[in-house]
Chain A
Amino acid sequence: MKTIFESTLLVVDDEPEILIMLKKILNQAGFSSVLTADCCQQAREIFGAEKPNGVILDIMLPDGDGFSLMQEFRLKSNVPMLFLSARDEDENRLLGLGLGADDYITKPFLPRELVLRLSGILRRVYQPMLTPPSQDECLVLGNVTVNFKSGVVQARDWKKTLTAKEHALLKKLWDNQGNIVTSDNLCRCAWDDDLYGYENTLMVHIRRLREKIEEDPSQPKYLLTVRGMGYKLVKDPTL
């Protein structure tokens, strides 16, 4: 397997029309090997014989339910699994129980959403195996390069080291680059606590971080404040 699109997928749903449509959608998205099953029994057989790289599971099946089928598969394999649910009630079980499912989508769904979610999980699981690890994880911000492995901010003529908290905050922002990360999430990430009482501490750390990565910390270009919500690392800092 060179790319995630070469992975074999198993789709389990009791509605034959849905199976046909899912197969078409996935093929069109680039997944060439898509197997289908319309009951638990058939799914077990295919799972045992074909060893798929990813599974999409409906919850209501004629001869059982998706939850127990997933637990059964989990005993044998760690392949990513995605639930396809038709009931709002299932949402609570999926959210609350932490059944080991990688994600879930409720019907009716948009094909784009399904493909995005599925590729996301597959990439997370298989990408490290598919591509050779890059020498270092680096973030380039204008003239500054942040090396997350060493925790060093490198410019042309100087070098600064990130503190543990600054590192955690910047890593979190980088993981969500282009998106707003709320102050609450940043706090949870750096201090493992609620924001309450840390408002000023967070501000101080962001200011110090800006002093290290921004050319003009009072007019930040990369690490932006989103008033009332949190902070955001701009999507394409090279521009």
Chain B
Amino acid sequence: MKSLRKIIIGSILLTATISLLLVVVNILFTANWAMKNPSVTHSKYDIGAIADGLTNIDGAYYLNETAAAQFDAQYSWAMLISQDGNVVWSKNLPADVPLTYTLTDIATFTRWYLNDYPVSVWESEDGLMVLGEPKGSIWKYPITSTEATISQIPSYLGGFLILNFVAALILALLLGSWLYLKLKPIYEGITALQKKETIILPTKGVTGEVARILNETSVVLKEQGKRLADRDKTRTEWIAGVSHDIRTPLSMVMGYSSQLETNPNLLPAEQDQAKIIREQSQRIKTLVADLNIASKLEYEMQPLHLSKVSPAAMVRSIAADYINNNDLSDSYSIFLEATEDSNGLSLLCDEALIHRAITNLIDNSIQHNGNGCIINVSIKKYQDGCIIKISDDGKGYPPEVLGNSDEPVFLENHGLGLIIVRRIMKLHGGKVTFENPSSGGGSASLIFNP
């Protein structure tokens, strides 16, 4: 749920930022636009220049060239109203503009319109200069406001901005929590999917389609998982069947070759051959048993019989068994070292499997150092668990094993022994690491960390 919350918070912040940015951009754009279009603000200050360009020469009015050019560019008509209210000069005067004006007329059109014509006025020597523009071209109303209102404009603008900000944030929050509520079941569905659980999400609302697809995916995954498990089970059962069936013929081979080996009527060379048959059939026995257990571990068909075990007592007993059973020829010796605190340790594990892992490693040391070696088994406390180390002074582990990857590597001549050890450790939540110490030999560590 953490990552969904992160996504939602991110989206809320992003939405708020975008909204704020929009407000700022709008303000900037408006200000820029207003500044670049001064004519709209009806401040045609050159009206004074035009008025000044009109000169009275002996009773006749004459507009000079510069003023005439300016007039043509900006206005459509002009007139000069004398002090007594009569039009004394005009240019392009439309027919519907009267030629005499009262004080009321003048007061009215200076503020608003003259017969719907927007006009600008200028006080000149001989009267009032009126410049007109076509009807409907200019918006012209005087705005009146109290001083108080004007003085409040900056704070109003500030408040407006803050209000915008708050509104943007609230909207973003609402949108975010709405999204959160909608996406939560989808998120939970995906999480469940990862754990291979069957999911039934409600398929209504905006996320309905996604939910439906997820539901279907979970069914497909379930079926696929089942098919895979069935196949694994079949394979494991098949291997178990073969390894069972091979036992009877192997019993015969082992039994009779063993009898021949000690038959006094045979020549020593023949006895040796019988011995080889017996030894090789024992190897087949080990291989088949390894194959069987490896396939069970691989496909998780090996039932775990967990119990509390003292690992220190177990390694002591394993080491003692090697010596007591005379399993080791004289060229091999085995030593054990247990730290004092390791005696108090207790491990929840499948004793038979851990026993197997340890003997596999010891057997490995024996098998791969045919000229004999010294095997050291040690146990020590490590964090909440322990490390059982099996090391020898032989030729060491091959480089492929030293990678310590979780993936098992199949090595020729190593059989399945090390793969089984890896699987057993994985099943117990631990791991096995291999190294060749600089002092020589090889060393494998079983690390239990509950």
Give A residues with C-beta under 8 Å from B: 15, 17-18, 21-22, 24-25, 28, 86-88, 91-92, 95-96, 106-112, 176, 179-185, 194-197, 199, 226-230
Q: Are B247 and A108 in contact (CB under 8 A)?
A: yes
Q: Are A199 and B248 in contact (CB under 8 A)?
A: no
Q: Which of A22, A25, A184, A197 contacts B316 (CB 8 A)?
A: A184
Say whether B266 faces chain A, with CB atoms less than 8 Å apart: no
Closest Cβ neighbor of A60 among chain B residues: B244
Q: Are A184 and B317 in contact (CB under 8 A)?
A: yes
List which B232-253 residues lie within 8 A (CB) of chain A.
240, 243-244, 247-248, 250-253
Closest Cβ neighbor of A181 among chain B residues: B320
Assembled-state Cα–Cα distance A129/B251 (Å): 34
Q: Are B337 and A228 in contact (CB under 8 A)?
A: yes
Q: Are B320 and A21 in contact (CB under 8 A)?
A: no
Q: How far is the CB of A26 from chain B (nearest CB, A)?
A: 11
Q: Are A179 and B310 in contact (CB under 8 A)?
A: no
Q: Are B320 and A86 in contact (CB under 8 A)?
A: no
Q: Which of A21, A91, A96 contacts B256 (CB 8 A)?
A: A21
The residue in A25, A86, A112, A228 that gathers the most chain B C-beta atoms within 10 A of its C-beta is: A228
Q: Are A184 and B310 in contact (CB under 8 A)?
A: yes
Chain B residue numbers with a CB within 8 Å of A230 are 316, 320
Say whether B198 faces chain A, with CB atoms less than 8 Å apart: no
User: Would you mind naming 15 contact pairs between A and B with Cβ atoms under 8 Å apart?
Assistant: A15-B248, A88-B292, A92-B303, A107-B250, A109-B254, A110-B255, A111-B259, A180-B323, A182-B316, A184-B310, A184-B313, A194-B313, A197-B344, A228-B337, A229-B319
Known: A24-B259, A110-B254, A182-B316. A227 touches B336 (CB 8 A): yes
Q: Which of A18, A24, A88, A96 contacts B289 (CB 8 A)?
A: A88
Closest Cβ neighbor of B262 among chain A residues: A112
Assembled-state Cα–Cα distance A180/B326 (Å): 11
Assembled-state Cα–Cα distance A184/B243 (Å): 36
Looking at chain A's contact residues, the main secondary structure is mixed
Chain A residue numbers with a CB within 8 Å of B191 are none
Q: Are A195 and B254 in contact (CB under 8 A)?
A: no
Closest Cβ neighbor of B341 among chain A residues: A196
Say whether B293 faces chain A, with CB atoms less than 8 Å apart: yes
Assembled-state Cα–Cα distance A194/B336 (Å): 18
Q: How far is the CB of B360 from chain A (nearest CB, A)?
A: 15
Closest Cβ neighbor of B285 among chain A residues: A108
Say whether B433 faces chain A, with CB atoms less than 8 Å apart: no
Chain B residue numbers with a CB within 8 Å of A179 are 320, 323-324
Q: How far is the CB of A89 from chain B (nearest CB, A)?
A: 8
The residue in B251, B252, B310, B324 that gathers the most chain A C-beta atoms within 10 A of its C-beta is: B251
Chain B residue numbers with a CB within 8 Å of A17 are 248, 252
Known: A108-B250, A194-B313. A92 touches B343 (CB 8 A): no
Q: Are B320 and A229 in contact (CB under 8 A)?
A: yes
The residue in A25, A110, A179, A197 that gathers the most chain B C-beta atoms within 10 A of its C-beta is: A110
Q: Are B343 and A199 in contact (CB under 8 A)?
A: yes
Chain A residue numbers with a CB within 8 Å of B340 are 199
Closest Cβ neighbor of A15 among chain B residues: B248
The residue in A96, A182, A229 that gathers the most chain B C-beta atoms within 10 A of its C-beta is: A229
Assembled-state Cα–Cα distance A116/B323 (Å): 19
Chain B residue numbers with a CB within 8 Å of A199 are 340, 343
Known: A87-B244, A88-B289, A180-B320. A108 touches B343 (CB 8 A): no
Q: Are A229 and B336 in contact (CB under 8 A)?
A: yes
Say whether B86 faces chain A, with CB atoms less than 8 Å apart: no
Closest Cβ neighbor of A28 among chain B residues: B259
Q: Are B320 and A182 in contact (CB under 8 A)?
A: yes
Closest Cβ neighbor of A188 among chain B residues: B313
Q: How far is the CB of A9 from chain B (nearest CB, A)?
A: 16
Q: How far is the CB of A56 from chain B (nearest CB, A)?
A: 13
Assembled-state Cα–Cα distance A234/B252 (Å): 38
Q: Are B336 and A196 in contact (CB under 8 A)?
A: no
List which B310-329 residues lie within 8 A (CB) of chain A.
310, 312-313, 316-317, 319-320, 323-324
Q: Are A107 and B317 in contact (CB under 8 A)?
A: no
Chain B residue numbers with a CB within 8 Å of A111 are 254-255, 258-259
Assembled-state Cα–Cα distance A34/B224 (Å): 55
Q: How far is the CB of B127 from chain A (nearest CB, A)?
A: 123
Assembled-state Cα–Cα distance A196/B324 (Å): 24
